[in-house]
């Protein structure tokens, strides 16, 4: 093996539960803290690639740490070659399947590999991919809001330059959704993109009723109105919707997007780096989106998403929802409503004092 190609020496995973500056309420409950798994991929060249994944619930933290570290032991000595490693992981987990914790672990390892390669080259990952860092228009991602109680926060987002605001729906009946959307639109004005996310909480018939009710408020998109696996339901809602349908954060790996695109499940797509196969999986889906002329946005992971969106031909919006600033030495910055990739690698550096403070035993 060439000396220029680093090899994996060791992989370490740590579970942390970090405070969120702004808890996220959706149709199913409240996310008031961030259960994260931090991945450190040590190489034989003294470089450590980093990434993190969002576990959604504390219950999955220990299984994810175990899965990542056990998989890492099998990868020791192998070159840091993300496409080769993805192929090896496909063979390893083909019979078990890719969804769930396995998919999250594999995607996290892929991102750590790309981070390591960027650090070895002393370049941001976006440059390794053939692009360049540029400001990406971001929207500020909220949970359920109250237009009156949260007016100050919404106006603060506008002061930061955000040109898009996303809120959650489904926390009540259609009349409540209309009240909230109408109130938020009044606060932010007509020129700011307003999105609503139902987090899979409706059936197709109810989704159509609510969308029709919300149509007068110039929504930029309606996100995940029905369960993510109900592709025919998504397609049916889309067919009757006067508002574009957004989906994809819960579709797994490139094949999941191929199936969704083939049935016309949504107008827009928004892969989640943790579920699509990391940077490697993202690139494949970006090709699909380009071929189908579908605008493509990111879901979470603003730091890494800022590297892959510039090489996405149909790049649309970057979602900004702060999950990680509590444990990063240099958190992502929003400047004039935009986020720009930083390097080397993915630009991730842990604040080890904070990690120690929030780490689970």
Would you please indicate which residues are annotated as catalytic (active-site) residues?
168, 299
Burial 79-91 (b: 16+ CB within 10 A, else e): bbbbeebbeebee
| Sequence-ordered list of residues with C-beta below 8 angstroms from that of 347, at least 6 positions apart, any chain | 124, 303, 330, 341
The CA-based angle 161-344-67, given to 5 degrees, is 100
Tell me how far apart the alpha carbons of residues 152 and 148 are, in angstroms, rounded to a whole number.
8
For the CA atoms of 205, 210, 216, 218, the dihedral, rounded to the nearest 10 degrees, stands at: -100
Q: Helical H runs in the chain?
A: 61-75, 82-93, 101-121, 125-128, 151-159, 174-188, 204-214, 231-240, 253-262, 273-276, 278-292, 302-308, 352-358
Tell me how far apart the alpha carbons of residues 200 and 341 are, in angstroms, rounded to a whole number.
31
Q: What are phi and psi of 356, to 5 degrees?
A: -60, -35
> What's 114's DSSP letter?
H
Name the residue among 2, 6, 1 with its Cα closest to residue 345: 6
Residue 180 in tokens: 């909230």
Angle, helices 61-75/82-93, rounded to nearest 10 degrees: 110
Name the residue among 285, 273, 210 with its Cα closest to residue 245: 210
């Amino acid at each position: 093996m060439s000396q220029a190609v680093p090899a994996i020496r060791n992989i370490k995973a740590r579970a942390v539960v970090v405070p969120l500056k702004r808890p996220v309420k959706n149709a199913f409950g409240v996310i008031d803290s961030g259960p994260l798994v931090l991945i450190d991929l040590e190489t034989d060249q003294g470089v450590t690639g980093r990434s993190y994944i969002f576990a959604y619930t504390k219950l999955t933290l220990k299984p994810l740490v175990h899965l990542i570290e056990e998989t890492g032991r099998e990868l020791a000595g192998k070159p840091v070659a993300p496409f080769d490693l993805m192929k090896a992981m496909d063979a390893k987990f083909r019979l078990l399947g890719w969804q769930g914790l396995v998919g999250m672990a594999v995607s996290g390892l892929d991102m750590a590999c790309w981070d390591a390669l960027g650090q070895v080259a002393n370049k941001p990952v976006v440059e390794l991919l053939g692009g360049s860092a540029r400001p990406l228009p971001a929207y500020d991602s909220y949970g359920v809001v109250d237009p009156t109680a949260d007016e100050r926060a919404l106006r603060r987002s506008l002061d930061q330059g955000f040109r898009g605001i996303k809120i959650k729906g489904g926390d009540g009946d259609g009349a409540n959704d209309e009240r909230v959307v109408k109130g938020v639109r009044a606060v932010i004005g007509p020129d700011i993109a307003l999105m609503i996310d139902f987090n899979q909480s409706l059936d197709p018939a109810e989704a159509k009723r609510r969308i029709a009710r919300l149509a007068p408020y110039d929504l930029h998109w309606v996100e995940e109105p029905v369960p993510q696996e109900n592709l025919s339901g998504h397609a049916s809602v889309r067919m009757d919707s006067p508002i574009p349908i957004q989906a994809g954060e819960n579709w797994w790996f490139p094949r999941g997007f191929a199936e969704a695109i083939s049935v016309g499940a949504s107008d827009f797509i928004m892969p989640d780096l943790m579920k699509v196969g990391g940077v490697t999986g993202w690139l494949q889906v970006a090709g699909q989106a380009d071929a189908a002329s579908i605008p493509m946005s990111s879901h979470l992971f603003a730091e890494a998403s800022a590297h892959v969106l510039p090489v996405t031909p149909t790049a649309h919006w970057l979602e900004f929802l702060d999950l990680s600033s509590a444990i990063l030495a240099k958190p992502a910055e929003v400047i004039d409503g935009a986020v720009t990739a930083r390097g080397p690698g993915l630009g991730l550096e842990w604040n080890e004092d904070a990690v120690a403070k929030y780490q689970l035993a």
